[in-house]
Structure 1
Amino acid sequence: MVANLFARDGYAALGAGLQRGLGAPIAKLRRRPAPPGIAGLLPEAGAIRLPEPLEGRSLGRLGDLEVRLAVRKSEVRRAQRLRYKVFYEEMGAVPSALAALSRRDADAYDALCDHLLVLDHAAAKPAKPFGEPRPKVVGTYRLLRGEVAARGPGFYSEGEYDLAPLLAAQGGRRLLELGRSCVLKPYRGKRTVELLWAGIYAYVLHHRIDALIGCASLEGTDPDRLALPLAFLHHHARAPEGWRARALPERATRMDRLPREAVDPKAALQALPPLIKGYLRVGATFGDGAVIDRQFGTTDVFVALPVEAIGARYRGHFAPGA
């Protein structure tokens, strides 16, 4: 399964919110001097001291909705059940026999990642008879830091893209891979999406992350029907060489399916999923080649978003206390 960030039409609120989820270890290479990173970009970052530990603490709240990291295995299992409900029951992905039996979307990466949760306290129910009520998990994001990936099986997106050149070029930067994101259908609105991004940004500050990476999806598996948005990303939003992850040769699908002069940017933007349009607004660029994921019925593209590329107004919108 690809590390989907967001999918389908229910996430239109992301664009509005931004306007205001397997390789061998990479050999040690000679590194360039480390770039300034987030501390050099945000003058206030040096003074920010988010509480220790970050796990379990509220990272934002809007009314009855709260965002924080999972701290218990039971909370991770609840996130997995939410992913199953959205990916398999709603979106029609094909589950494995184990996933169908457990009704959970789970893999080995879950034990390595941090899990961001959006909780609805108004929908709290006891976990067992006469037990303490627990809030409902209505949104989730899976977060994998580069240093964790390097000690284990690598980034999840390495199952689709060759990240070795990117990791060599960005050796001094702290990377964060986003994946396995979903929101329960009744909650797909501005508040939930903003809470997820506020949680991600708090995590970025806490761990001094320099760039976000991951895969985003376009619905459908026929690249010719997606020729316009794919060609737009290739010609107008292609990542610079140091960030340009390339699809694995055996999985690669060309994105330049139309010549540059045949791409109508306005029509292409209308054809892009809201998440990808949101990433474009804040400065993301995209890898070379798409990957078709027939299990999930999507065509995936690689996203690279250095924190330094995010405009000040967007950073301020999701900063702690905003």
Structure 2
Amino acid sequence: MTIPFQTGRYRVRFAAGREDMQACQRLRHLCFFDGPGVDADGFDDRARHVMVEDPVGRLVATLRLLEGSDGYAAQFYDLSGLSALDLPMLEVGRFCVAPDVLDADILRVVWGALTAYVDAAGFAVLFGCASFAGTDPVVYGRALARLRRFAGPDGLRPVARCDAVPLADCAPAGNGPLPPLLRTYLAMGGWVGDELIIDPVMRTMHVFTCLEVAKVPAARARALRALAQEPVLS
């Protein structure tokens, strides 16, 4: 099964054409920049944009999928170690949910759609930049300190191409939470890099995050694939 599909209240589909992509870009700007506008970059035209719509057709969440290792994250990280695996790779990025929609089920729906797509296309590695809101690491001190336990394997962890804050230097101070998407990656056996990059343009901070599909725990994989069998929409 591949996108589109529907589960619960939400319909998931790929953007079809310029108008859909611009709707995703407007939602991204609203979420990342706190106001109306268009968040666009040079990767959008070669990406697939996932749209999550509510029962009346309103776009409530979006994310961007880029095949290969030469996308957004490669601007910030040297991915040569990961690329050497020579496995089909998919970058997952720009995930956001409309600020007025407080439904945890959206993330479950997204993972169901993503599981279906990954299985159908045969991707072996998912990766991206897991973002924290704001530009002050102290706010998330305890969460960042905990991330050290999830550091990826030597040789695969990327090295930052720009100024970065080592997670080892993050004092366990502030109580800001881990982003929900990052928590899900880690629960499935994902790992992170050991540096935090501050992006003043996006007004976010991010760590490199990777999930090797073959290493997802069997019980979790079965649950995701069961979710991915929800009714398909034509």
TM-score interval (norm. to shorter): 0.7 to 0.9
Tell me whether 1:298 sits opposite 2:204 in the alignment: yes
Output the CA distance in 1 between the equivalents of 2:49 and 2:4.
13
Tell me whether 1:321 sits opposite 2:234 in the alignment: no
TM-score, normalised by the number of residues in structure 2: 0.87
- For residues 222-261 of structure 1, the aligned pairs below 5 Å read 222-234=136-148, 236-248=149-161, 250-257=162-169
AA at the equivalent of 2:48: D
CA contact (8 A) 2:140 2:175 kept: no
Output the CA distance in 2 between the equivalents of 1:287 and 1:268.
20
SS at match of 1:243: coil
Using the TM superposition, give the Cα deviation of residue 279 of structure 1 relative to its aligned residue in structure 2, in angstroms. Answer: 1.9
AA at the equivalent of 1:145: E
SS at match of 1:185: coil
AA at the equivalent of 1:68: R
Using the TM superposition, give the Cα deviation of residue 225 of structure 1 relative to its aligned residue in structure 2, in angstroms. Answer: 4.8
Map of 2:18 onto structure 1? 73
CA contact (8 A) 2:65 2:93 kept: yes
Output the CA distance in 1 between the equivalents of 2:193 and 2:73.
12
CA contact (8 A) 1:227 1:255 kept: no
Output the CA distance in 1 between the equivalents of 2:219 and 2:22.
36
More strand by share: 2
Map of 1:61 onto structure 2? 7
* Inter-CA distance 186–282: structure 2 relative to 1 (3 Å threshold): same
* Inter-CA distance 215–313: structure 2 relative to 1 (3 Å threshold): same
More helix by share: 1
Output the CA distance in 1 between the equivalents of 2:167 and 2:24.
33
* Inter-CA distance 315–268: structure 2 relative to 1 (3 Å threshold): farther
Cα deviation digits, residues 13-52 of structure 1 (max 9, x gap): xxxxxxxxxxxxxxxxxxxxxxxxxxxxxxxxxxxxx3xx
Tell me whether 1:197 sits opposite 2:143 in the alignment: no
SS at match of 1:196: helix
Using the TM superposition, give the Cα deviation of residue 108 of structure 1 relative to its aligned residue in structure 2, in angstroms. Answer: 1.5
Output the CA distance in 1 between the equivalents of 2:210 and 2:174.
20
Return the match for 2:59 from 112, 132, 137: 137
Identity across matched positions, percent:
32
Map of 2:180 onto structure 1? 274
Cα deviation digits, residues 253-278 of structure 1 (max 9, x gap): 221016xxx97xxx999743333222
* Inter-CA distance 161–62: structure 2 relative to 1 (3 Å threshold): same
Using the TM superposition, give the Cα deviation of residue 162 of structure 1 relative to its aligned residue in structure 2, in angstroms. Answer: 0.8
Map of 2:53 onto structure 1? 119
Cα deviation digits, residues 178-227 of structure 1 (max 9, x gap): 00111112333122211111111111011101011001122332335544
CA contact (8 A) 1:217 1:298 kept: yes
- For residues 104-183 of structure 1, the aligned pairs below 5 Å read 104-122=38-56, 135-146=57-68, 154-168=70-84, 170-171=85-86, 173-183=87-97
Return the match for 2:121 from 196, 203, 207: 207
AA at the equivalent of 2:165: T
CA contact (8 A) 1:230 1:255 kept: yes
Output the CA distance in 1 between the equivalents of 2:5 and 2:166.
40
Q: Which protein shows a greater Rg?
A: 1
AA at the equivalent of 1:74: E
CA contact (8 A) 1:118 1:137 kept: yes
CA contact (8 A) 2:107 2:181 kept: no
CA contact (8 A) 2:132 2:206 kept: yes
* Inter-CA distance 117–247: structure 2 relative to 1 (3 Å threshold): same
Output the CA distance in 2 between the equivalents of 1:214 and 1:244.
12
CA contact (8 A) 1:69 1:114 kept: yes
CA contact (8 A) 1:70 1:114 kept: yes
CA RMSD of superposed structures (Å): 2.3
AA at the equivalent of 1:142: R
Q: Which ranges in structure 1 are unaligned for 5 or more consecutive residues?
A: 1-49, 91-99, 123-134
AA at the equivalent of 2:168: D
